[in-house]
Structure 1
Amino acid sequence: MQGARMWAVAGVLGVALCGCSSSTGSAGAGSGGGSSSGGAAADTPEVPVTTQDLERVCSDGLGFKGLPAYDRAKKSVHPAQLMRSDGDDDGWTSSVPSDGDFPKGWFLDYMDKPEKAELVVCVERTKATATGKVCDMEADGKPLKIKTYNTTYRLRVVEARTGKEQYTYTGKAESDECPYYILTSKGEDANKYYNEVRPEDYRKRVKPYIAP
């Protein structure tokens, strides 16, 4: 996460936290500008060049005809790409879950090719509501007060080839606890913390589609 800063809970010993990653880490693949194979013939079925190209499946319901067909009746793992959105103008970001969040093979990894995707799992924050709770944190040795927010999210499982929704669900992510630390990116408000949907909150919901 470029330009990330870490806020630690006030009063906690200054232990160096290195290599921390979240389940929402961007795969960082490509610019998302290209969505067809370079130099391919005009009649060649279109495939994504990078995982970021799959954002259009979530945002516009547009699939890629060159991707493998999804057949839920086949009792095998159907690889999916995870895409996340904070519900703002930044659009969708391709992500790779942290190790242990999901069984291996459910979601594309950094080394996997995007043309393996049969499904796209779209996780989108649709609403944020202030909890009224303020957490005492510190940044660079200075005190910092963080306002927390509960969120509403929408989860969708979409066929990557056709853009057709297979499943949709709306839920809430709520908590009255302060975080131990916060990772923020450049341009984000460091004084706000959003309770987001966790992998364990939707693991069972996507399983019937990814691993029937």
Structure 2
Amino acid sequence: MKTQLIDLAKQRRSIYALGRNVTATPDDLTDLIKTNIKLAPTPFNNQTTRAVILFNQAHDRLWDIVHDALRKVVKDDDAFAKTAAKINGFKAAFGTVLFFTDTAVVKQFEGNFALYADNFRDWSEQAQGSAQYAVWTALAENGLGANLQHYNPLIDDQVRAAFDIPASWQLRAEMDFGSIEAPAGDKDFMADADRFKVFK
């Protein structure tokens, strides 16, 4: 059996110690990210996933938005100091991909395919997972680390205003990426017997 995809999957880890020691250009990384999202599967080929790719000041601005939004809800100074350190780690990365779902397309397909209407929102989430995994793995293949965050919906309004996001785009995740400054730790797996059933 060929294992190239498995080998790549092993490289795709949650890397939190990220930096800006990146040789690829923003244009090259943008092409990589866009191509992987376009090739990720979607139900009925409805292509509901959207992305905003941030570099330089735009990347910094996003994590400033996260910092300010969390400062309003984390009142304890000691607790916020830990939160701020975590956010500064994300900000230290080279860039961020904001993943969105275009809810207008979801609603359109709900109307056009009434038999499956109850499924399109779930299917759009599955499409998100496919796109995020594809981008994450492609970044890992190119020697870059990444991690996935979910500060939505806390930051949705501020992000929409800062980056001119259409009203129908719903923020689903934030993926910061950059050079790997420290590796991920060991990964534990639950027992196969608790996770899989095989019938032959």
Query: How high is the TM-score relative to the length of structure 1?
Result: 0.27
The structure whose residues are more often strand, as a share, is: 1
The structure whose residues are more often helix, as a share, is: 2
Query: How high is the TM-score relative to the length of structure 2?
Result: 0.28
